[in-house]
Structure 1
């Protein structure tokens, strides 16, 4: 990669936060494909599209405070490991999980743009090949990653056409406040009340933020055991969930897809913590799934693990 510096731009506050050594936050994305992947095709698409996203062709300055535009050699960012068939042992899913987990031990090279793609032509339970994309969270958010992936793909029915994104369906008219059809005095009272509530919540959030920065610490749980320790291995497991099932729950409960996914994630974490606390407190190392083993917090005992 050449070091031709074109322009510099300071990092945003959130980008600086993600660059802290205690966080060093990366996004790992796994995509399954119905056919084996050709590295040459992927390299060619990246050469024609990566320059459209400034963060993907920028590197950090030496002091880590600015983005420096640079030329990108995409070959340095695409990895195709030589996979031994005996290493897979007819279990492609475990191999992919192990491979992605090992990536957490290798930090991204900050001398070049902070992203990389790994091509795994390994057959799993639901794919013929898997692509793994890893980029630093200071580089992009979810929308930026999705836009990059979209411009690097084409329709199967028309190899020259970009994929089409379904139009967003509006939920309908926004509900008006309860005093919209009342007199001006009641509307004024409602506006004053809403403003006071907003000010109060803002003050509480600011005080909690300051207290957290000064002396409040996160509660120690099995989820953060070993957090912050150098070269701490993060174990990745992936599961495939049918979109039709998620939509079924969404429609039945009149919510969004994000609501369903958040609820499933919360339920899974609660069940995991309930099991871990049960194992820790049980004398024989076993626990009963229907018992609530979650510790009380401020006089409240969580009950969210039964979903």
Structure 2
């Protein structure tokens, strides 16, 4: 945790007091650490892929980070920078072939989401993907899982 300074918080009397970062905050500062945010959403109807891709392009991809790569800028002392790249949405929308009559779809969705934390997203493309599971569970007709990687790469 070299180079981390304690955050400063104001006491009631106005003085500042140093406070160490929380364990989770420290993880975000560790070199070469990857943090995956996984969001599971259930829907009342099967997911229409064409509509999903159009909506991603019109909303999600307008945010500058989602169509960008994190790269080291050697000309500026190894500073990390976001660089926009061409994005093929089909590389980010994953639709596995599923058996609609599987024995336990709820367990399948839970295991699928859990396994996403054990796999990585290629660093050659923006680090997010959406998984479409058009299988009926006890709570939804279909499920989408959004996975976003927040990566910290060691400089130099």
For 1:241-280, list aligned pairs within 5 A: none
Q: What is the CA–CA distance in structure 2 between the aligned matches of 1:56 and 1:95, rounded to whole Å?
A: 28
Partner of 2:107: 94
Q: Cα distance, 1:84 vs. partner?
A: 2.5
Q: What is the CA–CA distance in structure 2 between the aligned matches of 1:18 and 1:110, rounded to whole Å?
A: 19
Partner of 1:68: 83
Q: 1:18 to 1:26 in 2, by over 3 A?
A: farther
Deviations 1:211-264 (A, max 9, x none): xxxxxxxxxxxxxxxxxxxxxxxxxxxxxxxxxxxxxxxxxxxxxxxxxxxxxx
Structure 1 outlier segments of 4+, above 6 Å: none
Larger radius of gyration: 1
Partner of 1:17: 28
TM-score (norm 2): 0.69
For 1:68-147, list aligned pairs within 5 A: 68-85=83-100, 88-89=102-103, 91-137=104-150
Does 1 or 2 have the higher relative contact order (CA < 8 Å, sep 6+)? 2
Which structure has the highest helix share of the two? 1
Q: Cα distance, 1:66 vs. partner?
A: 1.8
SS at match of 1:137: strand
Q: 1:18 to 1:97 in 2, by over 3 A?
A: farther
- 1:60·1:66 contact (CA, 8 Å) conserved in 2? yes
For 1:135-284, list aligned pairs within 5 A: 135-137=148-150
Q: What is the CA–CA distance in structure 2 between the aligned matches of 1:25 and 1:60, rounded to whole Å?
A: 14
- 2:100·2:135 contact (CA, 8 Å) conserved in 1? no
Q: Cα distance, 1:18 vs. partner?
A: 5.9
Q: What is the CA–CA distance in structure 1 between the aligned matches of 2:138 and 2:45, rounded to whole Å?
A: 13
- 1:121·1:130 contact (CA, 8 Å) conserved in 2? yes
The count of residues paired between Structure 1 and Structure 2 equals 122
Q: Cα distance, 1:101 vs. partner?
A: 1.6
Q: 1:18 to 1:93 in 2, by over 3 A?
A: farther
Residues 1:26 and 2:39 are matched in the alignment: no
Q: 1:46 aligns with which of 36, 40, 56?
A: 56
TM-score (norm 1): 0.37
Q: What is the CA–CA distance in structure 2 between the aligned matches of 1:19 and 1:99, rounded to whole Å?
A: 27
- 1:19·1:138 contact (CA, 8 Å) conserved in 2? no
Long gaps (5+) in structure 1 = 1-13, 140-307
Q: What is the CA–CA distance in structure 1 between the aligned matches of 2:54 and 2:67, rounded to whole Å?
A: 16
SS at match of 2:114: helix
Q: 1:96 to 1:61 in 2, by over 3 A?
A: same
Q: What is the CA–CA distance in structure 1 between the aligned matches of 2:113 and 2:30, rounded to whole Å?
A: 21
